[in-house]
Structure formats: structure tokens, C-alpha cells
Structure 1
Amino acid sequence: MLNLLMKIVRTGRVTEHHDSGTTIPPRFRGKVAWKDSQCRSCEICREACPTGAIAFSNGQLVVDNNACIFCGRCSEVCEHNALGHTAEYQLAVLRDHLSEKIKATLKRSLHIRHVDAGSCNACDWEMTALNNPVYDLQQYGIDFVASPRHADMIMVTGVVTRNLTQALTMTYEAVPAPKLVMAVGACAASGKVFGNSYAIRGAADTIVPVDIYVPGCPPRPAALIYGLLLALDRLGGNHK
């Protein structure tokens, strides 16, 4: 026991705080940046995008972050170096007119029920990391619960499959009102990653009303924490 205590003292704090900055790996791909001055509107990037996340409107490039899987294909095929990935991962967005619902829901600690609606498990692994000593989600008063009847929020991962549509619907109905729903990752946020299939119903918001979208394939644990804190309105003036 003494050796364990000494090891803890030597190790010190390992938990990251959201406002202290997060170390980004050198090869990390975040939000797509577009250089207007270098773009020739050839639209090769749009054709190369596997999920249709890139579009052009009035000569301006528009990226649907919910559908983007940050694969890097757009920047690879661009001959004019007009596209590139940044290190920005704080891409979570809230649906409009959520303030009153959030105030009514989140007067206390936030309890979450996870629903895998048909994911590849990549997002699920990132969510699991939220409870490790590095991210330590409980430091924010947020915890996962086993029953939807004890939850304030549902975090949905994966494109919604036909086989799991009923499970998602029943879980949503079991959560006491008012309740929030977060779509985690490009599959749940856009439903475009796997295309059209008889086995797929689509994005999470085609089945249940979604309040928070966290893009990524998969999103980093820090990106998930950003989305949760954005919903909790605990970011002060840091959020965009």
C-alpha cells in the first residue's frame, strides 16, 4: 500500500483539463481549411469526397463537418494546395433554440446513456476513453448510467440500422423528459458514411430529435468533452 501511495505521489496529476489545452498528435486531421485565393473551382475535391461532404455554392467551398470523415482525400487530389486539414477538433454544434431545454435538463450532474445504433465501434472506443484517468469525465459531474430511466442524455453512435431502430426509439422513450440527444461521429450525425442500403435507416436525427452534433470519424475524446461542456454552457467565452 505504501509503495502504491508513493507511486501516485511521484506520478502526479495525469488528468487533462479542457481549458488547459490538449496535445494534438502531429498527423492529426481536424477541420478542413480552404484557401480562396488558391482555389480554381475545379471541383475535383468534391468528386473525391467519399461522403459528399464538400459542395460549392456561388464559387465558395462549403464543408459539411457532420459528414466529413477527415480522410484527407480532398487535400490529396487538390493540385493547387487550396485545401488542408487543421488541428481544430472543437467542431460540436448545438441545435438552435436549445437554451431553455438545457436549463431545464441540466440543473444537476449530467447522466448519459450510450446507444450503439450500428457503429463500427471506433466512436465507442473513444467514448470509453472518457472514463480513463487522462480525460476523467467525472471531474465535470458527468457520468454514464446503465438504465435510460436514470439518464438525462442519450449519446448515439453509428448509422442507425433497421435492426437497431426499435432499440434506439425505446431508449429515447424511456429517458425522462426533458432529455437531450447527442449524435456522436459522422455516421450518427450525417448517415452518409455507409451510403444507401436496405439495412440502413440513416442518421440519428431521422429517428429521434438530435440536439448536439459532434463530427469526426471517430471524434477525439477531447472533442466529445467539448460538445458536452458546450451543452452544459461551461465553456465561458472560449466557445465559438
Structure 2
Amino acid sequence: MIARIQQGHRTIAFPDTIPALPERFRGRPQIDSSRCLEGCRRCAESCPTDAITIESTRTFSVRPLSEKMLHRKRSAGPVLDLGKCLFCPECQNACPEGAICYTQDYRLATRTREALVLRDQTLALAEALDEEARRLFGRSLRLRQVSAGGCNACEADVNVLNTIVFDLGRWGVQFVASPRHADGLLITGPVTQNMKVALQKTYEAVPPPKLVIAVGACAISGGPYVHHPEVSNGANSVVPVDLYIPGCPPHPLTVVDGLVRLLGKLTPEELLRYDEQVREHCNIGKGGNGNVCDASPSPTRKAAPARPRRP
């Protein structure tokens, strides 16, 4: 009993305090295409989910002094789809020049599927709902969690949001058993054929207006099961999605961050201060490489053999 009394307050003071993450945690990847070797495709060939493609050229315009507008082409380097990414280190290990590395930035949620495709160092993080939606959901959001054929990793990390460590209820977000009592759905898993009709019926049972949140690579794109005949390659092929939270599985803080942004729980000033605090904590800025990896080429780094391409 005394030990319980002395343990104090255990809930993370989010967003005022950024908790320490494990050294091995891999958050938002950074790409430095200027390091890419001409014709190199090792990162793309090593990716188990084809999340990386290589843009060979990109057109840009310049106007030199006393000359007409010129259109030139240059190498664009890797393009990484966070919706497919498993956050494994295969691409980082395969790159001989250190063009790809992972930071500890856990802020990954976006409002659109297209925003998850990284072509440079920026990521358009989720914006808040409109004023009317915030009026309806801002103080109380009830979600029905649908496990649409997942491996239970995303489900487990969503479940811990109800513990005293994260205390999702302080933001007014709770999970309910019936879709008729819910304001929206939180979907995990690649939506297998056996779950497709169940997901559609659950979505229809939620009274409008309603929100849909896709959590994890499987729910966004199919993840490691993409293009398998028994999956639907993500929830957005079955129901409209309002918030995408990537990861395999996403860290609980990634989910909390996405929900807080979606509901507009922070004022613009608080959000600006919070984002700056995360950037400083993760050592991210212009040219920053984050805490997880050193983007400088290492003479001892050995490139991993390329994986055989899937038919």
C-alpha cells in the first residue's frame, strides 16, 4: 500500500513533456537524395513491401540572367510511401551512402493518403477538423475499434492507450462496444475478404456524421499482405478514411499525437511550441539527421544484398 502511494503520478505529461524513447525506436525516415549514387536502386530492391520507388528525374525551371526560362532535369532519388513502410531497417542497411535514415520523430499522422508519400524532408502532418466537426467531436469522441484481420500488434498498442500511462480519456476519447454508440471507427488490419462485409456493416451502423481512422500499415495499404488476393489493401478501399496513422505497429504516442491534432486539442501557439519541442528532442531541423542514425557514410557499412523482386 505504501509503495502504491509513493509511486506518484504515472501519466505522461503530453504534450508538455516529450517522453524518452528507446534508442532502437525508428520514427519518421529522412531521405538525403544528394547522397544517392547514379543508377543505384538498393533501397528500393531491399524493401519488403515496395514502399520505395526511384524517381530518376524531376523537372525544374530556372531563369539565368539575360536568358530565357530553362527547363532542366535532375536526379530526384528515393520516394518513400509511409503508408506501406514497415519501419524495418532494410533500406537503411542496404544504402552504401547513408541516404536514408530513421529519426525518433513519432509524429506521422496525416489527413490524406497522398501526404504519406515522402519526396523530401517534409511531412504534412494532420490538420484539425473543421469548426463544425470539432464542435461535435472535440470534447467527446467515442470510437469502435475494428480488427480487420490484423496480427494484433496494432490492436495491442491501441489498447495501451487506455492505461494510466497514456490516459486517452483525458482528451475525451473512449472506445465503445457498439457501433451505434460510436462517433467513428478505428480500423486495424488489411481488411481481409472475411472482414470486408463486417467492416461495411459496422461503418453503416455508426450514425452520421462519423469519422474513420486507419491505424497501421495494414489498414492503410495492406502492409506486408499488399496485393494478396485475400486482402483489400487497406481500409480506404472499403470505407472513406479521415485520418491515417502509419507504422508497423505505430507507437502509442503516434496515435495520441494524431488524435490530438485531428480534434484540435492544442491552440496554434501550443501546437507550434509542441512541434518545436519535438524537433529539438529528436535533433531535427534543417539538415538534422535525428537521434537514430548517422547519415554520414561509414567505411565499415556493408550494403545488404538486394532482395529478389516479387512477380
Normalised TM-score (structure 2): 0.72
1:37 matched residue in structure 2: 34
- Please say if residues 185 and 216 of structure 1, whose CA atoms lie closer than 8 Å, have aligned partners that are also in contact: yes
Larger Rg: 2
- Please say if residues 105 and 152 of structure 1, whose CA atoms lie closer than 8 Å, have aligned partners that are also in contact: no
Q: Does 1:188 align with 2:188?
A: no
Compute the displacement of 1:88 (Å).
1.0
1:226 matched residue in structure 2: 257
SS for the counterpart of 1:168 is: helix
Q: Report how many residues are paired.
A: 236
Change beyond 3 A, Cα 1:229–1:107 = closer
Change beyond 3 A, Cα 1:198–1:37 = closer
Change beyond 3 A, Cα 1:116–1:101 = farther
Give the AA of the match of 1:33. Answer: Q
- Please say if residues 217 and 249 of structure 2, whose CA atoms lie closer than 8 Å, have aligned partners that are also in contact: yes
Which range moves more in the overlay, 74-83 or 46-55?
46-55
Compute the displacement of 1:216 (Å).
0.1
SS for the counterpart of 2:195 is: helix
2:46 to 39, 45, 48: 48
Q: Does 1:69 align with 2:69?
A: no
- Please say if residues 98 and 211 of structure 1, whose CA atoms lie closer than 8 Å, have aligned partners that are also in contact: no
Where does 1:97-176 land on structure 2 (aligned, <5 Å)? 98-99=129-130, 102-103=133-134, 105-176=136-207
SS for the counterpart of 2:25 is: coil
2:295 matched residue in structure 1: none
Change beyond 3 A, Cα 1:91–1:97 = closer
SS for the counterpart of 1:124 is: helix
Cα distance between partner residues in 1 of 2:193 and 2:221 = 16
Q: Which runs of 5+ in 2 are unaligned?
A: 59-74, 113-126, 276-311
Give the AA of the match of 1:11. Answer: Q
Change beyond 3 A, Cα 1:37–1:202 = closer
Q: Which runs of 5+ in 1 are unaligned?
A: none
Give the AA of the match of 2:50. Answer: G
Structure having the higher helix fraction is 1
Give aligned-pair identity as a percent. 42
1:25 matched residue in structure 2: 22
Change beyond 3 A, Cα 1:105–1:189 = farther
Normalised TM-score (structure 1): 0.92
- Please say if residues 51 and 67 of structure 1, whose CA atoms lie closer than 8 Å, have aligned partners that are also in contact: yes
Cα distance between partner residues in 1 of 2:52 and 2:168 = 33
2:307 matched residue in structure 1: none
